[in-house]
Structure 1
């Protein structure tokens, strides 16, 4: 993309004086920044300016002007591209869902400010000029270049939407196929439920006979029949599990998902949960940068278990999922301002079967498998780390660290 911008910068118009140019490279720069906006490349403008600066020095040194003259002649272009790059990267990252008309106005303003800064630097070493005429022309040029850039960016947005639509259609077809396969396994599970009920009835009848010392001559055969039936049920369920694993493996390996899509799925399902339970809870999810992963099922399972626990721990409040990234890992912090966890419970919350969630109306208690599953997924499947910090009546923080190569790798 940098090469494309350098080539585009060869199309320019000299105005006012010989060392000030309106380059078409400024049309390509915002398109590049917008395309790679998730990477937050604040330095792209500076790199672009340096590349164009070196290119112009080399090219024009073969002409009439000397190398030293060109060194001093073209350096203000670095200022223009640096200012443009910094401003536009800030704008697109501050307002990721900016409407096209707001984007267009931002492009005009950034183009004008970058050009006027370059003009002020140049006029300190050049002849006097009419600033009123300069400003008028700069506004016109900013509108023209921004219009072309906005058209390119709009085309890029619709192209990305088309690709996403095709990917969603493919995912839908795969999910329909998966659903049909799973229905087959559900049939066998329902069939086994009948067998299980029969075995339970036989076992209970045997228990009653033993308890009352009746029909002793049938005890041995009844026990053997029960063992045989349990063995058959086990074989049937082994086939069911094999079928389910086959369906899941095939589809997971083919379909990936972006982190943004994962966030959207979580927000949709969790807000429905909050609404259905008549709670007043604000969710705030923020991503440092978007990434693509084939392990989205595992990642959603991790987030959903922790976030669901947070929702269940409060009637009103705020829950945040914050994403950051360092050189080696993705960092996810999930925090809430709910009731917190008692200190004596902290060491046990990841143990299977441990739970503090009891329905006092029904007497039902949670199975306590959610956080145990989370810990297993983070540490065994992702080779990551998970920690928890909580203060009773103030809230809870979960910090999850997952190596980049485990999360983004195939």
Structure 2
């Protein structure tokens, strides 16, 4: 079941490994300034560009990798041109530079929920300047600081930051020309996420109208029965209950009409599967960062199709991912894999996490209405839409089914099978 988890680690740490090697090689393009052993290297330009485009990777892990790889390359070259004492000193200085650089970046920028270019630019200046000062201080036993050195180091940090930021921003905004600007994209993702939740709630409100009507009818019948039996007080209470329930029904109908007209699927453009997965992964990564969790999210899609009822599909995927996030919690090296594939006439969605798993005792009842394992500190249940309602949407809207495979303390995989024709149909089903 969880054989793909090693693949997730490989994808994440592969990028860290490649970056560490690239930065180490770039550090060889250099020239000496100020004091022996202190260098201005190309690696200081490459590192912030990588950080900008890989904001899902913990910079502390990256810093440790670079602190190992870069001195290894530089130390080999220094060993051929300097004595052993200098090699050790320069290598330690290199290690201190990258460790402090990534630590400051982690504290000042990476832990933010919302990223922006201004904060990134200012953070990189601080990282570069402070790390350089530490490197100079170590090489000179903290006796090499002068006003001229401090000024020139700041200018060097500023120039390198400007160049690196311009490269990163130009590449980034060139990409955004295709899909509109970053803020619009974030707002659009937020809208789809919220609209999906509202659309699903309205869907189940529609399904409860009949239940409300039955309660109203029974209250009126009880009212007539008590009236015949001469129970005036009880009859009055039954009548008031019928009236209140009838008012609730009308309130539901007004909400359903207003929200239903606004989110009518016939008036909404269909979305490609890739775009749906992009929205879900983007928003859930923000949730992961806001909770300061160590969870890597990987999406693998091989299905090219358009989905008219994308609100419901976003609801399904997001609920399964959020369950995985809750199951992982603050566990280190958390992993969630979302896979979408096609088999025959069906589209298969699998959401795998390496969280706490589900015990054998409660596994058979997780799709029962009202079931939840999520409680607040006061004991209230965090219900949300619930797995039972996810199952209903899968069955009624996409003619599919959902199953689960879980091993306690190892992880869980939810499998969702949907009919592709129904997935690509714009007709909404109300059972």
TM-score (norm 1): 0.45
Q: Which has the higher contact order (CA 8 A, sep 6+)?
A: 2
Name the larger-Rg structure: 1
